Structure 1
Amino acid sequence: MRPKSWVSHLRPHKIPFRRRFTRASVALIIRTTESGGKELLFIQRARREGDPWSGDMAFPGGRLQPEDRSARAAAARETLEETGIDLARHGRYLARLSDLITRHHSRWRPMVVTPYVFEWQGPKAVLLNHEVERVVWVPLDFLAAGENQSQLPWPTPIGTLNMPCCRYQGACIWGLSYSMLQELLATGVNARSEIPQ
């Protein structure tokens, strides 16, 4: 088990007054391979002009809709829409990770994103919609290894920031997805048991 970072101590598990913000949720989906290893599902966003996260690696998910019973239900619905992966039928819920704050794609209003962890126990086939270019299953051992961590130069008005990231087969995992990944790894995840809270 990896020690928790100082960031995890500062970030609240549930952001106060989160229901006053626009909310979104994502699904971190783990599966066990035939050899007993564990893999985590990422999507690569479709490339679209004007989308600041076009082509980025992410977890399936999206904004809550009025018909969603909960944020967790929204994560499952969005996952089904984007990938054809039906968490209601073939997924086992494991845990809820900490809320994070980001912004809408097209404007600077804040949005609270809640990650939920599931174990996948269904078929390998996926059915991608127009929002997703591909899905990638990445071994958790690879994601946890120190030698696979890198930095992504990110230009800002005050200069270039070196954002922590993990690169896998030409793809770069960074930003919110990287932050969620680090918290997941810090839990000592085991797809056959619930993650410690």
Structure 2
Amino acid sequence: MKPVWLTTLRPRKLPFRRRLSRASVALIYRHVDGGETELLFIQRARREGDPWSGDMAFPGGRMQADDASASAAAQRETREEIGLDLTRHGHFRGRLSDLLTRRHSQWRPMVVTPYVFEWCGTDDSITNHEVQRVVWIPVSFLSAVENQSVRLWRSPLGALRMPCCRYREYCIWGLSYSMLQEFLTSGLIPMASRA
């Protein structure tokens, strides 16, 4: 869980975001039988040279010149990566805070904006070459304290202990974990699904 002071200091919209490379992702939740709510994750395809190969993430990617907005980019990338059409079967529920990161294999900064959608369609996802699989995880599991853990990550500064959530053989960490933590405290989750 992030310290309260960090949450209050992080601006919702970074003031310089339009001057940097931008990307966006879609946090997609759905209601299932029994009153549970699940959140969609993708497992990235394993590719040589990709530092996040095989990691858990949310569907999304870089904005393109013909994207009308960052939200439109998240919807396009979701359709391309896993075949879910958020414009037809998704309901926009809110926006989370911008995150500053770097582009793959470059040190140039990039702003990532997460958008939250409720999925009301069928589970007919079709993955492309960038995605190994789609995984729906119960929100009650993701929010339970006993499922939070630590992942050792080797960096140029040495081994760092990174907070994470482990579900079966999957590990949610890094930017995805940060977005998840904000989502869990955002008020965008239906009350019945909160732990």
**TM-score, length-normalised on structure 2?**
0.94
The range that moved more, 105-114 or 3-12, is: 3-12
Partners of 1:102 and 1:25 in 2: CA distance: 12
d(CA) in 1 for partners of 2:113, 2:153: 24
Structure 2 residue runs of 5 or longer lacking an equivalent are: none
Alignment of 1:1-197 (within 5 A): 5-191=4-190
Give the gaps of 5 or more residues in structure 1. Answer: 193-197
Question: Does the 8 Å contact 1:100/1:114 carry over to 2?
Answer: yes
Q: CA deviation at 1:52?
A: 0.2
Other structure's SS at 1:40 match: strand
* 1:41–1:136 Cα contact (<8 Å) kept: yes
CA contact (8 A) 1:149 1:164 kept: yes
SS of 1:102's equivalent in the other structure is strand
- Structure 2: which amino acid aligns with 1:51? D
Q: 2:73 & 2:130 partners in 1: Cα distance? A: 16
Displacement of 1:113: 0.1
- Rounded to whole Å, the distance in 1 between the matches of 2:155 and 2:16 is 30
Say which is worse superposed, 4-13 or 67-76, in terms of deviation.
4-13
1:191 positional shift: 4.5
In structure 2, distance between residues paired with 1:158 and 1:177: 22
Q: Cα offset for 1:134?
A: 0.1
3-state DSSP class of the match of 1:23? strand
Please give the root-mean-square deviation of Cα atoms over the aligned residues, in Å: 1.5
Q: Structure 1 length as normaliser, TM-score?
A: 0.93
Offset, 1:10: 1.5
- 1:106 Cα shift? 1.5
SS of corresponding position for 2:188? coil
Letter in 1 for 2:71: R
CA deviations on 1:3-46 (whole Å, 9 max, x unpaired) are 97332112110001100000000000000011111000000000
* Preserved CA contact (<8 Å) 2:165 2:172: yes
Contact 1:25 1:75 in 2 (8 A): yes
1:155 Cα deviation after fit: 1.4
Alpha-carbon spacing, 1:102–1:184, altered in 2? closer, same or farther (3 Å): same
Matched letter for residue 136 of structure 2: W
Distance 1:113 1:157 in 2: 23
What is the percentage of aligned positions where both structures have the same residue? 65
- How many residue pairs end up in the alignment? 191
